[in-house]
Structure 1
Amino acid sequence: MRDLAGPLKLLVTLWLAAASAIHLYFGGFGFPEPITMRGFHLLVFVPPLFLLFPAFPGRSPARRPSVIDWLWALASAAPHAWVMWNWDKVSDRMEYVDPFGWEMMVLAALAILTLLEATRRAVEVGLAWMIIISVAYMGFGHYIPGLLNSRPFSVAEILEASWLVPTAGGVYGPLTGIVATTIAVFIVFGAFMQGSGTGRLFTNLGAAAAGRFTGGPAKVAVITSGLFGTMSGSSVSNVITTGAMTIPLMIRIGYRPVVAAGIESAASVGGALMPPVMGAAAFVLAEITGIPYGEIIVAAAIGAVLYYFAILAAVHFEAKQAGMAPMPLRDIPAWREVAQDAHLVIPIVVLVWLMMDRWSGNYAAFCATIAMVGIAALRRRSRMGWRQVLESLANAGLTMAPLAVSIAGAGIVVSALTATGLVVALGGIIKDLAAGNFALLLVLLAVTVLVLGMGIPTTPSYIIAAAIGVPQILDLGSKALGYSAQELLLPAHLFIFYFAVLADASPPVAAAAFAAAAIAKSSPLMASMHATRLGIAGFTVGFAFLYDPGIMLRGSLVDILVATAIQVGALTALCAAYAGYLRASMGGPARLLLACGGLFAAFYHGVPDMVRLAVAVGVPAAIALTQGMRAPRPLRP
């Protein structure tokens, strides 16, 4: 991103801050007509990307936009300004029925072209190519023989489907709507959390809670990254924010750089799994399913805790095996210093309470943001003056702008998938490969989501994979598990969601791991492999959503406790097996036994749950007991 200077920097800052402030205002006092809101959202966030991100880093001007950049910015504003000016005409037209004239065709082409260029510059080249392939498939899919054949589309139909179908997809589809409303207000809330010093609270809390224990810096990284993830919504920004402190500390006490990068990236991607915010994809999940967001965060709570439990267990066993020291005492803040920022938790409590009380997400985030400003003013160290407020609003705009174009691009892909019937064809291919085996279907879908996530961000990856995979899970899962499609709806989406999040840390292309590796000066590929190994809980919990409903707080108290205990035991066994340490160092046979026991308990559902529980608890307990009996006893005086 360019480091602008002078009047232009001030202009862009004020523009982004004003755009964020208007989104926040609408969140509290009501939004205009949907098409107007979507047009405004894209109008204010797409053009600045051409000023902030150079076309070709290293060749384009680094401190100022070129004339071409200004032309791109103006061109990107034209279609959205036209939609806002003609909102009534757009709202009243019948999609695919009313004529799509030459004027609208030109504007649609301009909107798609500028969106592609903004995506290439500010998001991911892979997502831009996926959009191009989707539009091309609409134009040439009827030439492809066999299962992937589609009907012919005219140029007007392609442009209309990609741009202006507010009820179904495209740039102005429902996905853009949810970003322009709920997600935007939550991003503002997250920016105010950072501006008020809540990040300092999380950092100090993590260090005070875990710094004194073996492998302290790694545990601080895990706790801090999980807390930061509730407000950042971006695994990469999470890595950059917390990793700058935790990765050097981990390396200093003995972790290999590549392992330190893996720990930080695994912990950072998990922030999107952690209630109460859970990142942008979770809000899209709520919009697609129609399930209240409060129910989603309740269902996801145990899974998120298990994810971080597994990472903490892994770093603990590895630190014990290597004999690593805690953090230096001079680096550990006193609890009284943590307490000085404790009041900043109140706005988060307000947010959770309002969402659990079934207030809309945007209104809950609006109230929590206002509460954050007021509560922060109670102490001088957290008080936000006008500069901090302006900076927080501008930072929110910087986060929203790339998200706006990535979601609009995902809308084009989803529109192409549905209009051509490709979503049915791809789902059919996966279903045929599974051959009626539900477990195999889930494995194929997990691999599909991880592959999609190699080139595109979490939220678009989740959206596209959900369109392909969820219908297959509902169809085959209702027969295999005996649940209704409605009962399976949330578990199916959470399954896809988890793997979309994990793709950010999984090889060969893992954005979070690459960012952590840059800080650690290590191999990005090896860092992503360590991150995948440390994030094993994401894989086990993803499958547990479908096979063990107790993990979602469904069923009796016994069901919930048994499902949770199975995961805790299985993850403990797997983490200890990899590290080669439980109560003491282990040899190959004990590690193999632990690994087999953990995998059996986590993934084999062909036996009663009590058998799985016995294996999950019994195998680690037996090995720990054996190690305790073999440990040398101190001599009596």
Structure 2
Amino acid sequence: MRELPGWLRGAVTLWLASWAAVHLYFGGFGFPAPVEMRAIHLLVFTPPLFLMYPALRGRSPAHRPSVPDWLWFLVSAAPHVWVLWNAGEVNDRMEYVDPFTPEMMALGITCVVCLLEAIRRAVEPGLAVMVAVCLLYMAVGHHLPGVLNTRQFTLPEIVEAAWLVPTAGGVYGPLTGIVATTIAVFIIFGSFMQASGTGRLFSNFGAAVAGRYSGGTAKVAVISSGLFGTMSGSSVSNVITTGSMTIPVMMRTGYKPGVAAGIESASSVGGALMPPVMGAAAFVMAEIAGIPYGDIIVAAAIGAVLYFFAILCAVHFEAKRLGLAPMPLADIPAWREVLADAHLALPIALIVWLMMERWSGNYAAFCASLAMVGVAFLRRRTRMGWRDVLRALETAGMTMAPLAVSIAGAGIVVSALTATGMVVAFGGIIKEFSGGSLAVLLVLLGLTVLVLGMGIPTTPSYIIAAAIGVPQILELGRYLGVEPLQAHLFVFYFAVLADATPPVAAAAFAAAAISKSSPMMAGLHAARFAVAGFTVGFGFIYDPGIMLRGSVTTIVVATLIQACALVLITASYAGFLVRPLGVVLRMVVGLAGLMAAFVHAVPDPVRLAASCGVLAALVAWQVLTTRAPARG
């Protein structure tokens, strides 16, 4: 991102902060008509990206926009101004039936080209390439053989599908709508949390809870990064924000740079899995699956706890194996220091309560945002002045701008895949390779999502994979009674984990830059610390008890199976339980954990008894053999 000159920086800051405030107002008092709201959202957040991000890093001016940047700024606004001015006509026209005029054609091409350039600059070049490839496929797909063959599309049909199909997809589709409404207000709430000092509350809480134990610095990083991730919604920004503090501290206390980067990456990625916010993808899930957001956060709660439980287990075993000490007592805050910020948890409780009471997400976030500002005034140390509020709104606007274009790009991809039938064709390919086996289908789909996540952010990756894979999961899983929420959470988990999985892991690469370690090693360590994401993802399908489905017994048994399996797996790769494990024992323990987690054909009571039995026997044996010499 550029360091803009003072006057321009002030103008961009004021612009983004003002429109973030407008979005907050809309969240509480009602949004304009859908097409108008989407036009406003894209109009106010797309053009500034051309001023903030250089066209070519290293060659474009680093401290000022060039003349071409200003031209991009102006031209990118034109299509959205036209849609806003003609919102009534856009609402009334019949998609693919009413004429797509030459004026619309020119504006549509302009919109798509500007969107691709904005994504390339401000988000990920890989996502821009994917959008362009999908549009190219619409143009040449009729020349391709076999399942890739599609009907011939005219240029107006391609441009209309990409731009102006508000009811189905494209730039102005429902995905842009959910970002412009609910997600935008939640982003503002997260920014107010940061500005009020809630991050300090999370950090101090983590240190007070875990700092006194072996490897305390890493445990503090896990807790604080996970809690912070519920605010930021972005694994990379979470790594940069919290990792700049936690990674150096972990390295000073004895963790290798790659391991410290892996711990931070896995913890930061998990923030998007932790209710009540869960990042932008969870709101998109609520929209495209038609499932109330409150139901999603309830179903995801146990899975998120298991994810961080596994990281803490892994960190503990790693610290014991290395003989690492707890945090220095002088660095551990007293509980009175934690309680001094405890009032900042009230708005979080408010947003959860409102969501549980079935209030709309945007209204819940609006109320919680105002409550955060009000509650912060209760103590001098958390009080937010007008400059703090302005900075929070600016941060929200800076977050919304890249997200707006990335989701619009994902809308084009979904529109193109749907119009060409590739959603059905690609899903059919995966289904054919699976041989009718749900387990094989899930493995193939999980790998597909991880590959998608190499080049595009979590939310677009989830959107595309859900369009392709969820219908196939539901079809093959019907004999198990698999519900849509189970299938969507499976895809969502793998989309999130892609940021921590090699060979291209955005969060791990960011952490590696801080620790000055190998990005590949950081990614490998992040993947092993995030192992619970893989087991829980499959658990959503085969062990719905972890989604609070079924009787109390079913829920407890499913949760205990996952917990025992994760302890065994993390102990295996750390090489430590009560004391160090030998190579053979590590393999046996790891195999037992993997079988407990993934051999779903075995009845749950048997899996629980076997995993608990192996764990209890191993602990007892290690305790007894450790104490025996002392008695002699």
1:595 aligns to what? 590
1:497 aligns to what? 492
Q: What do residues 47-69 of structure 1 show as CA deviations (whole Å, max 9, x unaligned)?
A: 01001001111111111111111
User: Which of 558, 566, 571 is the matching residue for 1:563?
Assistant: 558
Secondary structure at 2:501's aligned position in 1? Answer: coil
Change in Cα spacing, 1:344 to 1:424, as seen in structure 2 (3 Å) is same
Q: Distance in 2 between matches of 1:315 and 1:537?
A: 13
List aligned pairs for 1:372-411, cutoff 5 A.
Answer: 372-411=372-411
TM-score (norm. length: structure 2): 0.99
Q: What do residues 470-512 of structure 1 show as CA deviations (whole Å, max 9, x unaligned)?
A: 0000111103x1x1xxx51000000000000000110011110
- Cα displacement (A) at 1:329: 2.0
- Retained in 2: the 8 A contact 1:461–1:500? yes
Q: What do residues 363-415 of structure 1 show as CA deviations (whole Å, max 9, x unaligned)?
A: 00000000001000111111111100000000000000000000000000000
Q: Distance in 1 between matches of 2:283 and 2:521?
A: 32
2:432 aligns to what? 432
1:26 aligns to what? 26
Q: Distance in 2 between matches of 1:409 and 1:364?
A: 28
Secondary structure at 1:410's aligned position in 2? Answer: helix
Q: What do residues 202-236 of structure 1 show as CA deviations (whole Å, max 9, x unaligned)?
A: 11111111111100111011000110011100000
Structure 2 residue 608 is matched with structure 1 residue 613: yes
User: Which of 529, 535, 545 is the matching residue for 1:534?
Assistant: 529
2:478 aligns to what? 478
Q: Distance in 1 between matches of 2:627 and 2:548?
A: 43
User: Which of 605, 626, 630 is the matching residue for 2:621?
Assistant: 626
1:525 aligns to what? 520
List aligned pairs for 1:39-438, cutoff 5 A.
Answer: 39-438=39-438
Q: What do residues 255-304 of structure 1 show as CA deviations (whole Å, max 9, x unaligned)?
A: 10000000000000000000000000000000011111000000000000
Q: Distance in 1 between matches of 2:409 and 2:517?
A: 33
- Retained in 2: the 8 A contact 1:215–1:324? yes
**Paired AA for residue 52 in structure 2:** L
Secondary structure at 1:325's aligned position in 2? Answer: coil
Q: Distance in 1 between matches of 2:463 and 2:597?
A: 27
Q: What do residues 292-351 of structure 1 show as CA deviations (whole Å, max 9, x unaligned)?
A: 100000000000000000000000001001100111222221211111111100010110
- Cα displacement (A) at 1:634: 7.6
Q: Distance in 1 between matches of 2:315 and 2:105?
A: 56
**Paired AA for residue 60 in structure 1:** S
Q: What do residues 65-90 of structure 1 show as CA deviations (whole Å, max 9, x unaligned)?
A: 11111110111101001100100000
Change in Cα spacing, 1:193 to 1:160, as seen in structure 2 (3 Å) is same
- Cα displacement (A) at 1:106: 0.4
Q: Distance in 2 between matches of 1:430 and 1:600?
A: 25
Q: What do residues 514-565 of structure 1 show as CA deviations (whole Å, max 9, x unaligned)?
A: 0000000000111011100110000000000010110100000000000000
Q: Distance in 2 between matches of 1:384 and 1:250?
A: 32
Q: Distance in 1 between matches of 2:176 and 2:313?
A: 39
TM-score (norm. length: structure 1): 0.98
- Cα displacement (A) at 1:633: 4.8
Structure 1: segments with no counterpart, 5+ residues: none
**Paired AA for residue 6 in structure 2:** G
Q: Distance in 2 between matches of 1:409 and 1:208?
A: 43
Q: Distance in 2 between matches of 1:99 and 1:636?
A: 91
Q: Distance in 2 between matches of 1:635 and 1:161?
A: 76
Secondary structure at 1:291's aligned position in 2? Answer: coil
Q: Distance in 2 between matches of 1:533 and 1:48?
A: 39
- Cα displacement (A) at 1:573: 0.2
Change in Cα spacing, 1:523 to 1:636, as seen in structure 2 (3 Å) is closer
Q: Distance in 2 between matches of 1:636 and 1:362?
A: 64
| CA RMSD, 1 decimal | 0.9
**Paired AA for residue 485 in structure 2:** L
Percent identical across equivalent pairs? 71
Q: What do residues 21-49 of structure 1 show as CA deviations (whole Å, max 9, x unaligned)?
A: 00000000000100000000000000010
Q: Distance in 1 between matches of 2:603 and 2:287?
A: 35
2:571 aligns to what? 576
Q: Distance in 2 between matches of 1:64 and 1:382?
A: 35
- Retained in 2: the 8 A contact 1:590–1:623? no
**Paired AA for residue 79 in structure 2:** P
Q: What do residues 2-30 of structure 1 show as CA deviations (whole Å, max 9, x unaligned)?
A: 11131111100000001100000000000
Q: How many residues align?
A: 632
- Retained in 2: the 8 A contact 1:430–1:441? yes
Q: What do residues 558-605 of structure 1 show as CA deviations (whole Å, max 9, x unaligned)?
A: 000000000000000000011111111111222111111101100001
List aligned pairs for 1:546-557, cutoff 5 A.
Answer: 546-557=541-552
Secondary structure at 1:504's aligned position in 2? Answer: helix
Using the TM superposition, name which of 368-377 and 59-68 deviates more: 59-68
- Retained in 2: the 8 A contact 1:204–1:338? yes
**Paired AA for residue 310 in structure 2:** A
Q: Distance in 2 between matches of 1:580 and 1:604?
A: 23
Q: Distance in 2 between matches of 1:430 and 1:2?
A: 43
Secondary structure at 2:613's aligned position in 1? Answer: helix
Q: Distance in 2 between matches of 1:332 and 1:534?
A: 25
**Paired AA for residue 521 in structure 1:** K
